Chain A
C-alpha cells in the first residue's frame, strides 16, 4: 500500500481509477436525483417504475443507450465525429483531479490546482465545437459556434472570480485555500468572498451551459445544438459529461468558497465536502428548473457589460484587503 502511494505513477493510476468510477456512479445517481427533483418541482412524480422509487432508472437508461446503434451521418467527418464525446468526458473528469476531498485524500496536490481546474473546464468548449462541426448539420454548427462564443467569453469572469480566494489565501493550491479557510473562516463569509462566490457560480453555469445560459443546446431553437446528430452512446456521454462537469464545478465552488472539508461537530471531513457539493448542486438544479433562457446577444452583453467589470472590481477589493491586512 505504501509502495503504491509513494510511486507517483501508480498513485495517480489507482486514485484516478477510483475517482472516475466513483464519479460515473455519482453521475448515474444524479440523473435520477435531478429527474425526481424536476418531477417534484413540476408537481409530478418523476421515475417510479424501474426499481424502488425508480432508483434503477439510470441503469435502464444506460443499457438502453448502449444497445442502440451509433449512427454517423452520411458525409460527416467520421474521425472527429467519433472523437468528440470521449474528449468531452475526458476534459470534464480531468478537473476532478485537484478537488481536495479531505486532509490528504486528493488525486494530485498540485500547487497550481486552481489554474489546472479552470484550464480544463475552459477546454470544454473545444470538443463541443468539434461535435458541432463534424456532424455536418446546420443546427449543430450554429450550436457549436454559440458554445465557443459563450465558453470563451465566460472564461474571463470565471478566472477573475476564482482569483479572489487565491489572493485572499495567497496560494494557488486548492488544499492551501482550504487550509486558509480552516484557519481564518470561510471565504463566503467575507463580503467580497460572497460576491465572488455568486459570480463564480453564475459563470460556472454558463461554462457548463446550464439554464439560463444553455444557448448552445437550446432545444426549442437549435433542436439539440451540437449534439443533434448524436444518438445512443454518443449522446449519453455528452449528457454524462454535462452532469459530471456541473458536479465537479459544485465541488470546486464548495472547495474555494465554502471551506472545503472544514466543518464542526467533528464529523469526518469527507462527509462535509460531499454535503457542500450536494447543496451547491441542488441549487444549480433548482435554478435550472425555474428560469427561462437568455438570447445569445443578451448573454454576451451580460458577460461583457456586467460580469467582467464586476469581477475586476472584486479582485481589486480583495487585493486591497490583503495589502491592508499585511
Chain B
C-alpha cells in the first residue's frame, strides 16, 4: 500500500517534502509520461499484427459499406445514409423487408431498437403532428464489423411489424420499447410489458409523462 508523505520537519525552515517512495506525493502530482512517438514505437514493437488487423478491418468494412449503400440505393431509393441523423427514414411497410435484406447481406447481429416520442410542435416549416420514431441497429460480425441503422416514422397508434421472427434477440428489446414508449409491434410472439408491472397504465418514456413531478423535468 502507499504511505502518506512524512510530515514536514521544522515549520520555520521551508519544509521540503521528503521524497515519497511511493511517488504518490499529495497525489495531485502527475505522471509525465513518454513522448507520443516513443509510445507508438513501443506499442508497435509489442503488437506486430496490430496494423494487419486495422487493414483487414478497413478493407472488410469498405466492402460491407459498399454493399449497404448499393442495397439502400437500388431497393429503397435512398441516396445518402444520413449517418449523422441516425440512418435514413424508411416507410413502415418496408421495415421487415429491409431487415431481411440486411440479414442476408451479413448483418446477422441484432444490436438494438430505440423508439422515441415526438409530440406535436409548431416548427418554422408548419406544425408537425405527433409522431413516434423507431430506430433499429444491426451489426455485421467478424473483422471489419460495421453497424447499420435506419429509422421509421410512425403516427400514434400505428403498428410496426416486429423483427422477432427474424432475430430472437429482438423479442425483449421490442417488448421494452412497447412497455416504455408504447409502440406496438405486429407479429411479436408475446408482446407484454417487460419492465413495468402488467397492470401499469401509461408509458413512462413519453414526453408528456410525469411532467408534474416535484422537480420540473427540464432544469
Taking the complex as a whole, does A directly touch B, i.e. does some CB pair lie under 8 Å apart?
no
Q: Which residues of B contact A (CB under 8 A)?
A: none
Q: Which residues of A contact B (CB under 8 A)?
A: none
